[in-house]
Amino acid sequence: MENFPHYFTLPKSRAIHQIYILILIALTISSCQKDIVDSPIPPSILEIEAPQNLSSIPTGSTIILKAKTNSPDNLRYEWKVNNVWLSNNMPQISLTTSKKGEYNIKLYVSNSAGTDSISLKYYSIETPKEGCSKWISQITEFRPAPGQYTNKSPGNPASSQTIVGKKGMVSLGGYGGYIVFNFDHTVINGNGDDFVVHGNAFKGNSEAGIVAVAFDANGNGRPDPEEWYDLAGSAHSAPGTNRNYTITYFKPSQTETSEDIQWSDNTGAEGLLKATNFHKQCYYPLFLAEGVPDKLEYSGTLLPPTAVQNPSTGNWVVGDLEWGYADNYSEKYPLVVNDDPDTRNSNKFDISNAVDKNGKSISLPAIDFVKVYTAVNQQAGWLGETSAEVCGAISLRAQ
Ligand SMILES: [Ca+2]
Ligand SMILES: [Ca+2]
Ligand SMILES: [Ca+2]
């Protein structure tokens, strides 16, 4: 009996025993509650409440962003906009989109138990002003590759200006040669085609140019290298297409008259851009902003060759691609858009076809710059190198 606990040996103490247990339970509950206060659960952000259509906020407007969390008590809020911290410890912020471009919002919510974070991206877009022009308003850059028209019409700087405000013609030279232009408004990515680019193609004479687009995401008024995306066309996933192509052209021994231009590329191939019998000037561009360096590099997507010679006639056919390239004939090429006769003989482009270097689709709300570059590296016999021509462009989003 001595070994039994004290309260079993004293029947009178049963009530006291029950009181002990109740006190013990009460102490346990109280201790648990104390633990909750000392160690809260980490916060969890449910969402940032934001306006419905974040992809088209007009520049200059103000929006309210509001954090929604699972446990709103005793939280610290830290907001970052385009990598700049806001000095604000509030669950909501008011932001004015003073400049157009991309806005990257990051929200951190913390308490003593931890931190949660969430990201949100939206775009501020300048809507076209009434009376803006459908035509190209400015040539941002003209950097043709060597070619039979380079340094003379239609392949000189004066030629590049002929497509401002109207139709004209500029030749881009061999693979990689390009022109960059813009309109007097941001071209919004609406339903279907958003702009057209005119060429001088006809059936069997398609000198494909890849069209790339840039949305001025950082709002600095310039197309930066990371802002460019190709618009994919029918040959972008074809066997033989190289999405990471770089060609280097070498300055000829003299620049007074034409001679073959040597090139090499990042696949290890090399060859000659041949001087033809018809064009006697130097083919290596002599007017670029960088002067006349010993070599010139051009990069982008390379499409497979399209030129075929008819063995019996000796004539060359520079084949048509199905869709999605400038200076390329297709059934849609002669058609007009929106009953506007100025859109005849053009290729039609939809910003929704933008892809990154891996071919992954990129969603762009709008674009500020268009680049057209020659997409193939080929000699079509006596026709010479294949070089895309640009004969104008029209925005389908002008007011
Ligand atoms: Ca579109
Ligand atoms: Ca920019
Ligand atoms: Ca052409």
Query: What digits encode the pLDDT tens for the residues 155-164?
Result: 999 999 999 9
Residue 311 is which amino acid? P
CA distances from 120 to 48, 54, 107, 195 (A): 8, 9, 9, 29
Mean pLDDT, all residues of the chain: 90
Start-to-end C-alpha separation, the chain = 102
Q: Could you tell me the distance, in angstroms and rounded to a whole number, from the CA of residue 367 to the centre of ligand 3?
A: 25
Q: Could you tell me the distance, in angstroms and rounded to a whole number, from the CA of residue 236 to the centre of ligand 1?
A: 18
Q: Are 197 and 393 in contact (CB under 8 A)?
A: yes
Question: Which 3 state secondary structure label does DSSP give 101?
Answer: strand
pLDDT digits (tens, 9 = 90+) for 107-127: 999 999 999 999 998 899 988
- Mean pLDDT score, 374-394: 95
Q: Could you tell me the distance, in angstroms and rounded to a whole number, from the CA of residue 216 to the centre of ligand 2?
A: 4
Ligand that comes closest to the CA of residue 227: 2
* Cα(265)–Cα(285) distance, integer angstroms: 19
Q: Could you tell me the distance, in angstroms and rounded to a whole number, from the CA of residue 50 to the centre of ligand 3?
A: 48
The total number of residues shown for the chain amounts to 399
Q: Could you tell me the distance, in angstroms and rounded to a whole number, from the CA of residue 96 to the centre of ligand 2?
A: 20
Q: Which residue, 305, 285, 350, 275, is CA-closest to 206?
A: 305
Q: Between these two residues, 151 and 32, which has the higher pLDDT value?
A: 151
Q: Are 64 and 48 in contact (CB under 8 A)?
A: no
Q: Could you tell me the distance, in angstroms and rounded to a whole number, from the CA of residue 343 to the centre of ligand 2?
A: 28
DSSP per residue over 113-134, as a string?
TEEEEEEEEEEEEPPPPTT--S
Q: Could you tell me the distance, in angstroms and rounded to a whole number, from the CA of residue 190 to the centre of ligand 1?
A: 4
Q: Are 231 and 212 in contact (CB under 8 A)?
A: yes
Ligand that comes closest to the CA of residue 365: 1
Q: Are 23 and 155 in contact (CB under 8 A)?
A: no
- Mean pLDDT score, 123-143: 94
Q: Could you tell me the distance, in angstroms and rounded to a whole number, from the CA of residue 348 to the centre of ligand 3?
A: 16
Q: In the numeric block, which tokens belong to residue 91?
A: 């669950």
Q: What is the pTM of this model?
A: 0.86
State the Rg of the chain over Cα: 33
Q: What confidence category does residue 238 fall into, taking pLDDT thresholds of 50, 70 and 90?
A: very high
Residue 21 is which amino acid? I
Q: Are 213 and 370 in contact (CB under 8 A)?
A: yes
* Cα(35)–Cα(14) distance, integer angstroms: 32
Residue 15 has pLDDT above 60, yes or no: no
Ligand that comes closest to the CA of residue 354: 1
Q: How many CB atoms lie within 10 A of CB 117?
A: 13
Q: Are 77 and 109 in contact (CB under 8 A)?
A: yes
Q: Could you tell me the distance, in angstroms and rounded to a whole number, from the CA of residue 208 to the centre of ligand 3?
A: 8
Q: Could you tell me the distance, in angstroms and rounded to a whole number, from the CA of residue 67 to the centre of ligand 1?
A: 32
